[in-house]
Amino acid sequence: MRKQIAAANWKMNLDLQQAEQLMTQLLATDHSLGKDQLALFAVPFPYLLTVQQKLAGKTNAKVAAQNCASTNNGAYTGEVSAEMLKGMNVEYVIIGHSERREYFQETPAILAAKVNKALEAGIKPVFCCGEPLTVREADTQNSYVAAQLKESLFHLDKSQLTDFIIAYEPIWAIGTGRTASSDQAQEMHQHIRKVLADQYGQEMADSVSILYGGSVKAANASDIFGKPDVDGGLVGGASLDAKEFAAIINSLK
Ligand code: 13P
């Protein structure tokens, strides 16, 4: 059965002390995770070890990186490779967030290379896709998102994409307070699963966890996660509040 996942994306927020405090508060807040459920904490690189230590011994709560380099180790000042993350026992990495596509000019080819590096290192990508408002208004979001998947993932073989994690994050819903309705989320997630099934078969498509991201909060998580093709969420702002994120974890199916 595919995993149901509540993933926190802290983005570039919090100082070290605040990060520690947030984890301490969260661990003290009532939440529970079942066998097929997972909580991920995508934290800034400098906090990976600290947060990992806070989660020590937990089998279904793990840290994730927010990015990795598209190359192996070498003369790339400021970059962090998938090999380095692997050496720190980091098991997950976000790749292709719309903020990185937009502000750091990450192209589909760069993202494909990053996915390759992560997989070579044995790290699981959380691959992000999602359309801007203009595309949604033109009602061409289905072909837009299908192209994002094809361009950066479809060079992989079926075994590499089995149990994969994809996050659908419509850009118009990120940090805007404007959430996609649960029906809009379901419609796109179903479409993504069909695109995967057409290429790789239904069994592989059914193994992929598809998370929704964009203004997820405690108040709307149950409604969104309750849809059959929504397997949890990738959460920005609300993941910086221990009570909110604990409630979001508790909203997993
Ligand atoms: P918000 O939850 O703040 O809208 O951010 C979503 C997001 O970008 C998670 O990766």
112: Cβ contacts below 8 Å, ≥ 6 apart: 151, 152, 153, 155
Give the pLDDT confidence score for residue 82 in this predicted structure: 98
If you average pLDDT over residues 205-209, what whole number do you get? 98
Share of the chain above pLDDT 90, in %: 96
Instruction: State how far the Cα of 200 lies from the Cα of 185, in Å rounded to an integer.
Output: 22
Q: Give the closest residue to 93 by CA, choosing from 167, 150, 190.
A: 167
- CATH number for position 187: 3.20.20.70
82: Cβ contacts below 8 Å, ≥ 6 apart: 68, 69, 93, 114, 117, 118, 120, 121, 123
Whole-number Cα distances in Å, 224 to 83, 146, 165, 216, 232:
35, 21, 17, 8, 8
Q: Is the pLDDT of residue 1 over 90?
A: no
pLDDT tens digits, 134-159: 999 999 999 999 999 999 999 999 99
Ligand 1 site, residue 108, Cβ cutoff 6 A? no
What is the count of structural domains for the chain?
1
Please confirm, yes or no, whether 97 is among the known catalytic residues. yes
Q: Name the pLDDT band for 31 (thresholds 50, 70, 90).
A: confident
Ligand 1 site, residue 175, Cβ cutoff 6 A? yes
Q: Report the chain's mean pLDDT, rounded to a whole number.
A: 97
Distance 45 CA to ligand 1 centre (A): 18
If you average pLDDT over residues 171-179, what whole number do you get? 87
**Which secondary-structure segment (H or E) carries 180?**
none
Give the pLDDT confidence score for residue 2 in this predicted structure: 96
Q: Name the pLDDT band for 50 (thresholds 50, 70, 90).
A: very high
Distance 215 CA to ligand 1 centre (A): 6
Instruction: State how far the Cα of 234 lies from the Cα of 70, in Å rounded to an integer.
Output: 22
Secondary structure tally for the chain: helices H, strands E: 12, 8
Best probe residue, ligand 1, of 129, 166, 235 (max atoms within 8 Å of C-beta): 235
Does the reported pTM lie above 0.95? yes
Q: What residue type is 207 in one-letter code? A: S
Residue with tokens 């990508």: 125
Alpha helix positions (H), 31-157: 48-54, 82-87, 98-103, 108-120, 133-137, 141-153
Distance 57 CA to ligand 1 centre (A): 28
Ligand 1 site, residue 235, Cβ cutoff 6 A? yes
157: its two tokens = 């073989």
**Cα angle value 14/41/245 (rounded, 5°):** 80
Q: Is the pLDDT of residue 176 over 90?
A: no
pLDDT tens digits, 126-139: 999 999 999 999 99
Please confirm, yes or no, whether 31 is among the known catalytic residues. no
CB atoms near residue 82 (< 10 Å): 28
Whole-number Cα distances in Å, 72 to 87, 91, 158, 196, 246:
13, 17, 24, 28, 36
Give the pLDDT confidence score for residue 13 in this predicted structure: 98
Domain that holds residue 22: 4-249
